[in-house]
Structure 1
Amino acid sequence: MQFALRNLALVLKNKDFVFLTIGEAISSFGNRFFKIAFPILIYNLSKSAIALSTMIVIETLPQILFGLFLGVALDRYDRKKIIMYSIVIQTLLVLIIPLLIHVNAHLFFYYVIAFLLSLFGMVYDTSVSVIIPSICAKRDIQVYNSVFQTIRTISKLVGPGLGGLLISIYSISSVLIFDAVTFIVLLLMLIKVTVPQIPLNKSRFKFSELFEGIKTIKKSKVIWSTVILVVFINIAMQAFNASLVYYTKHELYLKDDLVGIIFSFAGLGGIAGGIIAGTLTNKFTPGKILIFSCLLLSGFITCYPFFANWILAGAMYAVISLLVTVMDVTIISTIQQTTNNDILGKVITSINVLTLTISPLGALISGPLTSITSIQTTFVTFGLVTILGVFFSLNKQFLSYKYTDTNTKSV
């Protein structure tokens, strides 16, 4: 606790980081509303596990199709303007959904909105990962990432439960309008953030720039092993996320407010994970943290559908969220530590493309697998997938690499 308070005091001295985090916390709260409202909306329209898994796949496509181009843009143009434009567009897209509900639009149009929201959400999330090292001291990057993730996921504690309650009292449209308002607050906070400008690359664009990030990744055994592990984790979590609403609605027969409460349990895990992540690297190497967390994740995903009780389902979801948060903070901190800022955008987007190209298999397979067999078979199958990630990612440098106080070359 004392270490966590010391970390908090450190980041409070950084006004740019404080404004960014306040805006993100409020926006994340609205986003939690969206995360519970939109899948429920798709389920109510389709009553289908395949429809839900299709939505997950669609939300993955923008990263695969446009990720490399985004990396080039972030390393060539004004990063603050890019992130602000993305927020404005996301606000407008969220406000379109209540209009689609009003006119009883076909499911296809909701998929289009899901695709576009995922595209500009990707722009925002990647931009934040690139901006944080610019406004924070490199030696304290793990601290900033853990605090940012902790505050960001506090919204998971209250957001989904309150969102489910508001849906049952008012409507999905009301929840989505609130989400749009939180985007506006985020935009106002970002106006106050000063982002140091990197030297802009004014040379003519070359197609080879798209692959500079991949070349950098392949030179680093640490990052390459991380990428392999993340591929398998993403496959498993895609399947888990695609199946969760179906499991709670179709197997546990829960009402919308209880589904929201289960999602809120993830907030507890996220908060704990953010706090823990800031302290674990003082005792363990990033590689060991990732491997151990992945093994635990496998166990909890495998056992998840065998506890037909909403309280136990929520508690296990909290642990899964804790483990995923620890891994998220560890992964992004490792990338930021080992990569120069002028190419960080290309590296982050390249990693996302590499890890997400295969991960839609989780969502693609989970729906049909559940329909043909059972939801229990689906969870067990993808719990075992994470163990394969551990097997294929292990190497000596990955397990022994430690964070440094300054920028380092790829290792």
Structure 2
Amino acid sequence: MNRRLGLLREYDFRQLFVADTISQVGTQVTQIALPLVAILALDATPLEVGVLAACETAAFLLVGLPAGAWVDRMRRRSVLIFGDAARAVLLGSVPLAWWAGTLTMPQLYAVALLLGVFTVFFDVAYQSYLPHLVGRENLVEGNAKLEAVRGVSQVAGPTVGGLLVQWLTAPVAIVVDAVSFLLSAVFVGLIRKREPKPTAAPDRHLGREIGEGLRFVLGNRLLRSIAMCTGTANLFMSIAMAMFLVLLADDLDVSAGTIGLLMSTGSIGGLVGAFTAMRIARWLGQGQTIVYVIGVTAPFGLLMAVVQPGWMLWLGAAGFGVTMFGAVVYNIAQVSFRQGLTPERLLGRMNATMRFLVWGTMPLGGLIGGVLGANVGVRETVMIGMAGACLAFLPVFFSPLRTMRELPRGDEREPAPVG
């Protein structure tokens, strides 16, 4: 039993694990509830829904790079607590405005944008904090367990969110997420292990620090190919997902509860991926896992574009599930590699640079999705997005990762390919 628990035997990791579990379930509720507030409560157009999707991720493009340099100057645990508390306040403003009869699309845009800003800081600090908490030798296990949390939340969260929207209305459902962020902040606060305050260099300069992070990522061929792959996948997935909820809720008139169940059913694939990622990485090798898993699973996402009322809804859910399986296994492998490769002092900037490069494409995808949905058609836009995602694996396929089992760590760069 102790062997199965692994890192969960450690008090501090357990607090992070519980905090992440609570927050992830609440976040999944909001990912359904926030666009449904726009669609159902404010009668938003496809373009407005696309703009809202863009606002949710625009912060990674706007503040992603300086966030890494700032996080490297601060204690990451404090950043996590503040980020959770701030997001709870922002989300709480939505049901309050709805009850007052003053809720508007501009407010939803502002909430989504500011949520993104605090999420940028939280995510950069979160990925940079894990090596300090568990040690680099335990990164794959730590990331796998946290991805399992994400997988469980993606199974349970959308169902809970859809039912809450159906029973209580979308704005009230967002209250659940606000409370979850507060609880997450409490559990992060219970972590005992403290980081030393980063030493401030006398000549430190924000621009130079940002440049150092960019040079580290773009100067490494492996990191560069991973950034291109993930950024391309996120761009096209954002195009598709911006319109997928519109396709279900508007075009097919699927109920909120069924939408939640549909997304949860598809997310089972992500949960399976989290539990099998370590085994797959041992079988294929870390480099080849990054290349082949996403390349093989992405085409199943095309089934999402052919959903129809009846059994074909669940065919689309199955396609989404296979795609999520590949995405989770890919993420565990590539994030663990990045964390193990990067020096401690550069972790924040490396993660921020990668987030800027790979999440910065998402607001563009949301906008493109909204424009295409309004002019080409909602279903056609989902098809275009998922077809583009099928090509995302090409940058890593044409890199040395294709022939690597073991990947470099620490100050190592690119060892000779095997075989």
TM-score, normalization: structure 2? 0.91
Taking only aligned residues, the RMSD between alpha carbons, in angstroms, comes to 2.1
Change (3 A) 1:383 1:182: closer
Supply the distance in 1 between the matched residues of 2:393 and 2:176 (Cα, whole angstroms): 41
Name the amino acid aligned to 2:118.
Answer: F
* CA deviation profile, 1:283-322 (whole Å, cap 9, x unmatched): 2233422332332343122232223132222222222222
Give the secondary structure class of the aligned counterpart of 1:409: coil
Change (3 A) 1:58 1:256: same
> Could you tell me how far 1:61 is from its partner in structure 2?
1.5
Give the secondary structure class of the aligned counterpart of 2:216: helix
Aligned partner of 2:66 in structure 1 is 69
Supply the distance in 1 between the matched residues of 2:324 and 2:258 (Cα, whole angstroms): 18
Q: 1:121-160 alignment to 2 at 5 Å? A: 121-160=119-158
Aligned partner of 2:196 in structure 1 is 197
Larger mean CA deviation between 326-335 and 294-303 belongs to: 294-303
Aligned partner of 1:384 in structure 2 is 387
Aligned partner of 1:10 in structure 2 is 6
Name the amino acid aligned to 1:352.
Answer: R
Supply the distance in 2 between the matched residues of 1:222 and 1:6 (Cα, whole angstroms): 36
Judge conservation of contact 1:64–1:356 (CA < 8 Å) in 2: yes
Supply the distance in 1 between the matched residues of 2:380 and 2:333 (Cα, whole angstroms): 30
> Could you tell me how far 1:160 is from its partner in structure 2?
1.4
Structure 1, unaligned stretches of length 5 or more? none
Judge conservation of contact 1:28–1:153 (CA < 8 Å) in 2: no
Correspondence for 2:335 among 332, 336, 339: 332
* CA deviation profile, 1:385-408 (whole Å, cap 9, x unmatched): 234433344335222344469634
TM-score, normalization: structure 1? 0.93
Q: How many residues align?
A: 407
> Could you tell me how far 1:7 is from its partner in structure 2?
6.5
> Could you tell me how far 1:198 is from its partner in structure 2?
6.0
2:34 equivalent to 1:38: yes
Q: 1:150-299 alignment to 2 at 5 Å? A: 150-193=148-191, 194-197=193-196, 199-206=198-205, 207-299=207-299
Supply the distance in 1 between the matched residues of 2:29 and 2:361 (Cα, whole angstroms): 28
Name the amino acid aligned to 2:113.
Answer: F
Judge conservation of contact 2:230–2:392 (CA < 8 Å) in 1: yes
Supply the distance in 2 between the matched residues of 1:198 and 1:217 (Cα, whole angstroms): 25
Supply the distance in 2 between the matched residues of 1:89 and 1:50 (Cα, whole angstroms): 28
> Could you tell me how far 1:55 is from its partner in structure 2?
1.1
Judge conservation of contact 2:240–2:383 (CA < 8 Å) in 1: no
Aligned partner of 1:54 in structure 2 is 51
Judge conservation of contact 1:297–1:386 (CA < 8 Å) in 2: no
Give the fraction of aligned pairs with identical amino acids, expressed as a percent. Answer: 19
Change (3 A) 1:248 1:373: same
* CA deviation profile, 1:96-120 (whole Å, cap 9, x unmatched): 1112212233211110010001111
Supply the distance in 2 between the matched residues of 1:152 and 1:296 (Cα, whole angstroms): 22
Name the amino acid aligned to 2:242.
Answer: A
Change (3 A) 1:402 1:197: farther
Supply the distance in 2 between the matched residues of 1:356 and 1:9 (Cα, whole angstroms): 32
Judge conservation of contact 1:91–1:184 (CA < 8 Å) in 2: yes
Change (3 A) 1:340 1:6: farther
> Could you tell me how far 1:276 is from its partner in structure 2?
1.6
Supply the distance in 1 between the matched residues of 2:153 and 2:25 (Cα, whole angstroms): 5
2:371 equivalent to 1:368: yes
Q: Which runs of 4+ in 1 moved over 6 A?
A: none
> Could you tell me how far 1:251 is from its partner in structure 2?
3.0
Supply the distance in 1 between the matched residues of 2:300 and 2:275 (Cα, whole angstroms): 21
* CA deviation profile, 1:373-394 (whole Å, cap 9, x unmatched): 3334323322332344333443
